[in-house]
Amino acid sequence: MPKLSDRVGTFTDSVIRRMTRISNKYGAINLSQGYPDFDPPAELTEELARIAKEGPHQYSITYGAENFRAALAEKHGRTIGRYIDPETEVVATCGGTEAMMCAMMTVCNPGDKVMIFSPFYENYGADTILSGAQPIYIPLVPPSYDFDISLVEAGFAEGAKAIIVCNPSNPCGKVFTREELTAIGELAVKYDAFVITDEVYQHMVYEPYEHVCMAGLPGLYDNVITCSSLSKTYSITGWRLGYLIGPEEFIEAAKKVHDFLTVGAPSPFQEAMVKGLHFPQSYYDELLATYTEKRDYFLSGLDRIGLKHNVPQGTYFVMVDIQDFLDLPQFKGWTDLEFCEWMTEHIGVAPVPGSSFFHEEVNNLIRLHFARSRDILDEALERLAKLKELL
Ligand code: GLN
């Protein structure tokens, strides 16, 4: 076969999504790729059934159906306290994944530097490669996942074109404070650079923490590109709906990139989601209550078993420390990936190895998610207890 591009040799498939395939192979409980095992709200599935009969089934406007963009702009505008023009400041995308890729391709020339906090959601690694950007990693240091703002300034001073801020942060559950976001944003303004946010988990921020949208902070709007998704907020990861919101000049260019990447997000799903975007505040309060309950239940289960873990401030992920297991003679010299594969086959619970999120050499963490119904979480905890018996 003729030779493929050099680019494809520089990254692997997604380990998160590979773990789902491994989990399926062994019939394990999949706590790797983060998606819920429960249905979206009935109003949305009923609306989708109606649309299946009545349409639309053809392309929407490439950058999003008019009513869908209007609803996105209204919801986001309410959150950040600013009018968002649905015609000039919004692009509907195929999930948060396309939103991020589209933002990167719109902002970066090959060779441009982009700062990424580490640990990071693994897509950003491939996004930089595909857009030709050079990552500069800024450590979020466990266990508190704090960072040194002087490193961010140094990155901008070195010429970084942008910084990616995943807030709340996948995989470590950090919720950036208003002060942290302001400091990052002010540096972006000072150095005439972009902040690209990933706010996919914005409605999963646990008390007493608070989600602050960077685009809404004073003086930052023109430097902030918001990427988000409806997948997690409405339990519709398969519908592939996301969006970009940003200043007009950026959106005008992003519309072109998006058009040639995907043409558009699926029109029947956009149409059905208009209803969801008009849900009252009580919907989001209930979602948060559900996930708070799941978090507390799952973490107390881990505590009962005696597995060491962080306490996520947001998201539905938890990092578990596996060093004690890797110190056992039977696992000596194993990578976290090998341990995760073993765990999936022999314990029956699929995690994601921490090394797929860290730029630094980290081999002692695994990521689990708790977007599962109560009986599955119970079964998962029962299986995880078997792990502890090895010690
Ligand atoms: N964000 C989810 C995770 O980190 C998965 C998203 C995806 O696979 N596209 O597990």
333 CB-near residues (< 8 Å, 6+ apart) = none
Q: What is the C-alpha separation between 246 and 228, in angstroms, rounded?
A: 12
Question: Does the structure show a pLDDT above 90 at 301?
Answer: yes
At 116, list the tokens. 């990424």
Beta carbon of 96 within 6 Å of any ligand 1 atom: no
Q: How far is the CA of 83 from the centre of ligand 1 (A)?
A: 30
Q: What is the C-alpha separation between 53 and 45, in angstroms, rounded?
A: 13
Within 13 Å of residue 319, how many CA atoms lie on the same side as its CB? 29
Q: What is the C-alpha separation between 296 and 315, in angstroms, rounded?
A: 13
For 33-68, how does the pLDDT look when each residue is reduced to its tens digit (9 = 90+)?
A: 999 999 999 999 999 999 999 999 999 999 999 999
Cis peptide before 171 (omega within 30 of 0): yes
**Given the DSSP bridges, would you call strands 352-353 and 134-139 parallel, antiparallel or unpaired?**
unpaired
Question: Domain limits of the chain?
Answer: 6-40+282-390, 56-278
Question: Does the structure show a pLDDT above 90 at 207?
Answer: yes
233 CB-near residues (< 8 Å, 6+ apart) = 202, 203, 284, 287
> Which of 375, 362, 376 shows the shortest CA–CA distance to 171?
362
Beta carbon of 30 within 6 Å of any ligand 1 atom: no
Beta carbon of 16 within 6 Å of any ligand 1 atom: yes
Q: Whose CA is nearest to atom 4 of ligand 1?
A: 34
Q: Give the model's pLDDT for residue 253.
A: 98
Q: Give the model's pLDDT for residue 15.
A: 96
Q: Please, are residues 336 and 322 in contact by the beta-carbon 8 Å criterion?
A: yes
Give me the mean pLDDT over the 218-224 stretch. Answer: 98
Q: Give the model's pLDDT for residue 238.
A: 98
For 314-344, how does the pLDDT look when each residue is reduced to its tens digit (9 = 90+)?
A: 999 999 999 999 999 999 999 999 999 999 9
Q: Give the model's pLDDT for residue 335.
A: 98
Strand partners, 227: 198, 244
Residue spans of alpha helices (H) in 5-59: 15-26, 42-54
pLDDT bracket for residue 183 (50, 70, 90) = very high
Give me the mean pLDDT over the 301-322 stretch. Answer: 98
For 69-81, how does the pLDDT look when each residue is reduced to its tens digit (9 = 90+)?
A: 999 999 999 999 9
Q: How far is the CA of 33 from the centre of ligand 1 (A)?
A: 5
Does domain 56-278 fall into CATH 3.40.640.10?
A: yes
Question: Does the structure show a pLDDT above 90 at 142?
Answer: no
For 253-296, how does the pLDDT look when each residue is reduced to its tens digit (9 = 90+)?
A: 999 999 999 999 999 999 999 999 999 999 999 999 999 999 99
Strand partners, 113: 134
Q: Looking at this protein, which amino acid is placed at residue 221? A: Y
Q: Give the model's pLDDT for residue 375.
A: 98
Beta carbon of 170 within 6 Å of any ligand 1 atom: yes
Q: Please, are residues 208 and 73 in contact by the beta-carbon 8 Å criterion?
A: no
Q: How far is the CA of 226 from the centre of ligand 1 (A)?
A: 18
Atom of ligand 1 nearest to the CA of 17: 8
Residue for token digits 């040194």?
148
Q: Please, are residues 62 and 98 in contact by the beta-carbon 8 Å criterion?
A: no
Q: Give the model's pLDDT for residue 143.
A: 84
Q: Please, are residues 271 and 56 in contact by the beta-carbon 8 Å criterion?
A: yes
Residue spans of alpha helices (H) in the chain: 15-26, 42-54, 66-80, 95-107, 123-131, 149-157, 178-190, 248-262, 267-277, 281-305, 323-326, 336-346, 374-388
Q: Please, are residues 335 and 283 in contact by the beta-carbon 8 Å criterion?
A: no
Give me the mean pLDDT over the 117-128 stretch. Answer: 96
Give me the mean pLDDT over the 351-362 stretch. Answer: 97
Q: What is the C-alpha separation between 121 and 129, in angstroms, rounded?
A: 14
Torsion of CA 292, 295, 297, 302, to 10 degrees: -160
pLDDT bracket for residue 245 (50, 70, 90) = very high
Q: What is the C-alpha separation between 73 and 151, in angstroms, rounded?
A: 34
DSSP helix/strand/coil, 21 = helix
- What's domain 6-40+282-390's architecture? Alpha-Beta Complex (3.90)
